[in-house]
Amino acid sequence: MIAKEAVEQAAYEIMFKAGIDIPDDYLAGIKKMASAEDGDLSAFVLEAMLENYEAAKEDRRPMCADTGVPRYYVKAGNEAKLEGGFIALEEALRSATARATHDIPLRPNRVHPLWRTDHNNNVGINAPEIEYSFEPDADWVDITTVHKGGLFGTDYRMLFPGDGIDGIKRFFLDGMIAFGKRGLACQPAIVGVGLGGSKDTCMVLGKQAACLRTVGDRNPDPKIAELELELQELGNSIGMGAMGFVGKSMVVDCHIEVGYTHTGGMPMSLHAFCLSSRRATVRLHADGRAEFRTDPNWFTPYMRRETVSWEMPASAKRSA
Amino acid sequence: MGNARERKTVRLKTPVTDADLATLELGDVVYLDGLIYTAREGVYKKVLENGEAPPAPFAEIGNVNFHCSPAAAQQEDGSLKVSAVTATASFRFSKWMKDWFAASGAKLIVGKGGMSEEDYRTLFVPAGAVYLTTVGYGTGALLGRGIKNVRAAHWLDELGIAQAMWVLEVEKFGPLLVESDLAGNSLFERNNREINAGIEKLYEGLKKPSLQRYGETDDREQELI
């Protein structure tokens, strides 16, 4: 049984880790980009960023003051037992958010869209968001949080099957160029692409691709993996680097996630994570252990399962 | 690591003087010492639209306006803790700047992304003001380190943490980059002109989309702001 108190404490701790400590895979990615960058302003920005990660770690203060809008990804093992069930889990995540907002402190970014009321704790209607997935044969619960900042660096377009890979590349370029200028998308960043699904799942998949995969991780479909690398290269060939200055540090990595979609369309979403890519994961084991990791391990084979085993009726087979 | 050329680095004491500003060239690195204050939508509206008196005389709090909302919290003893600060996008404040310069005498605007060259020419040049951009924009920890003390947070109850007018005592606050000079040139626009020259080439060989939507553009040189 996983205690409610353990959930709250672990969620509180990952809020600190995500806000303050740069994940190793992302740090290595930025260092690689900094060493290859020949645009002098862009290289200056990357060096300042590397210094900033050190300052955050030393002082235990957030890497960036836009600590985003808190959100949790919960992956529950099918055999996991939670004290108080999912209602208690959600209560724990909401109070961990408020406590962490005050104690770190995070910026209280969450306001009502119309009345702009602000509880100064990042908790409100539908906030923080909690997304769920499941894992077979497991008795643990994984909780991941991301502090993805700001307003720029996300877009959606309904493409059509005839647009094909060209359409994907075109929209990718459109987005990167528009958002990259003046560094408004805070590049270089991990760029997530959602392909397919309905409009809402397309957005969800693209954001998960940006926030929940690690640098260097490839989609298991070799053709999609190839497209990921192609888009990364395309992004880095625009001539724009960190903060939109002349350079080539635009995309640290590109991740694509797909979902089956409507036969007439090919929706695509584009999500740039921040230059301070901020994520942290904790796995809560049944025996009470809290295991902290930087890899959310979100896209398991179960998440990407292809179809269902089903015996087609004999009549349908004949007409096929 | 890196190929960053050595950049001219300047330390400015606030309030800044006209002579200080005259030495700044596009791309210089600036660090600030002294007092700076934050003012954004909430403060601009109160002072410029509602005609309320500024909560502190500008002669006391200086002439450096930071477009910012800090990651901050009120402590149990009533004191205020700022851990990290980064700027908010400045282009949306253009409409207030002319009046703000007149009302406040601000000479340095520090923020994110800058404004357009046209804004610098029409709003900043007549006021003798210069724009500095924060770096990254995620250097929140480095900038936070430069804040030695929170002198005051005016209108905190009315405007909340994000919109309040924070008066901050800073030391080696930076790095910041000179984005506009006294002549109204923009570092970002200078870079954009160079980048734009290569953009058409990127699209070569990619077929047109099946559907072009209202509001979409073929001019890839267009800027978001």
Q: CA A82 to CA A139: how far, in whole Å?
A: 10
Say whether B71 and A184 touch across the interface (CB within 8 A): no
Say which residue the tokens 């740069």 belong to. Answer: A22
Cα dihedral value A274, A152, A158, A240, nearest 10: -70
Residue A166 contacts B where some CB pair is shorter than 8 Å: yes
- CA B180, distance to chain mean position in Å, is 11
| Chain B residue closest in CA terms to A274 | B138
Question: Which tokens go with B55?
Answer: 């909560």
pTM more than 0.90: yes
Say whether B211 and A160 touch across the interface (CB within 8 A): yes
Residue A86 contacts B where some CB pair is shorter than 8 Å: no
| Chain A residue closest in CA terms to B203 | A170
Q: Is the pLDDT of residue B222 over 90?
A: no
Say which residue the tokens 């509880």 belong to. Answer: A119
User: B4: pLDDT confidence band, cut at 50, 70 and 90?
Assistant: low
DSSP B91: G
- CA A50, distance to chain mean position in Å, is 21
| Mean pLDDT across chain B | 92
Q: Is the pLDDT of residue B1 over 80?
A: no
Q: What is the pLDDT of residues A10-56, one digit of tens each?
A: 999 999 999 999 999 999 999 999 999 999 999 999 999 999 999 99
User: A152: pLDDT confidence band, cut at 50, 70 and 90?
Assistant: confident
Say whether B194 and A67 touch across the interface (CB within 8 A): no
Angle at B126 between CA B124 and CA B127, to 5 degrees: 65
Q: Is the pLDDT of residue A143 over 50?
A: yes
Q: Is the pLDDT of residue B216 over 90?
A: no
pLDDT of residue A75: 98
pLDDT of residue B143: 95
Give how far B178 is from chain A: nearest CA, Å.
Answer: 12
Of B66, B13, B60, B68, nearest to B37 (Cα)? B66
Say whether B139 and A67 touch across the interface (CB within 8 A): no
Cross-chain CB nearest to A160 (options B1, B73, B210): B210
Say whether A177 and B220 touch across the interface (CB within 8 A): yes
Question: How many CB pairs below 8 Å do chains A and B form together?
Answer: 213
Q: What is the pLDDT of residues B31-71, one digit of tens each?
A: 999 999 999 999 999 999 999 999 999 999 999 999 997 77
Q: What is the 3-state secondary structure (H, E, C) of chain A?
A: CECHHHHHHHHHHHHHHHHHCCCHHHHHHHHHHHHHCCCHHHHHHHHHHHHHHHHHHHHCCCCCCCCCCCEEEEEEECCCCECCHHHHHHHHHHHHHHHHHHHCCCCCCCECCCCCCECCCCCECCECEEEEEEECCCCCEEEEEECCCCCCCEEEEEECHHHHHHHHHHHHHHHHHHHHHHHCCCCCEEEEEEEECCHHHHHHHHHHHHHHCCCCCCCCCHHHHHHHHHHHHHHHCCCECHHHCECCCCEEEEEEEEECCCCCCEEEEEEECCCCCCEEEEEECCCCCEEEECCCCCCCCCCCCCCCCCCCCHHHHHHC
Give how far A227 is from chain B: nearest CA, Å.
Answer: 15
Residue A109 contacts B where some CB pair is shorter than 8 Å: yes
pLDDT of residue B162: 82
DSSP B113: S
User: A276: pLDDT confidence band, cut at 50, 70 and 90?
Assistant: confident
Yes or no: say if B65 and B110 are a contact pair by the CB < 8 Å rule: yes
Of B186, B89, B174, B94, nearest to A150 (Cα)? B89
Question: Which tokens go with A224?
Answer: 């999609």
| Mean pLDDT across chain A | 94
Residue A55 contacts B where some CB pair is shorter than 8 Å: yes
Yes or no: say if A91 and A83 are a contact pair by the CB < 8 Å rule: no
Burial status of residue A134 (CB atoms within 10 A of its CB: 0-12, 13-18, 19 or more): middle
Q: How many CA atoms lie within 13 A of A157 on its CB side?
A: 23
Give how far A314 is from chain B: nearest CA, Å.
Answer: 40
Chain A, 131 to 160: residues with Cβ < 8 Å from chain B are: 149, 151-152, 158-160
**Does ipTM surpass 0.85 in this model?**
yes
> How much is the average pLDDT of B16-23?
97
User: B215: pLDDT confidence band, cut at 50, 70 and 90?
Assistant: confident
pLDDT of residue B192: 95
Q: What is the pLDDT of residues A174-231, one digit of tens each?
A: 999 998 998 888 899 999 999 999 999 999 999 999 999 999 999 999 999 999 999 9
pLDDT of residue B5: 67
Q: CA B131 to CA B65: how far, in whole Å?
A: 10
User: B3: pLDDT confidence band, cut at 50, 70 and 90?
Assistant: low
State which H helix or E strand residue B190 sits in: helix B187-196
Residue A68 contacts B where some CB pair is shorter than 8 Å: no
Cross-chain CB nearest to B141 (options A47, A62, A103): A62
Cα dihedral value A63, A64, A70, A73, nearest 10: -50
Cross-chain CB nearest to B3 (options A40, A162, A174): A40
Give how far A98 is from chain B: nearest CA, Å.
Answer: 12
pLDDT of residue A241: 96
Say whether A173 and B141 touch across the interface (CB within 8 A): no
Q: What is the pLDDT of residues B107-129, one digit of tens each?
A: 999 999 999 999 999 999 999 99
User: B224: pLDDT confidence band, cut at 50, 70 and 90?
Assistant: low
Say whether A118 and B160 touch across the interface (CB within 8 A): yes
pLDDT of residue A262: 97
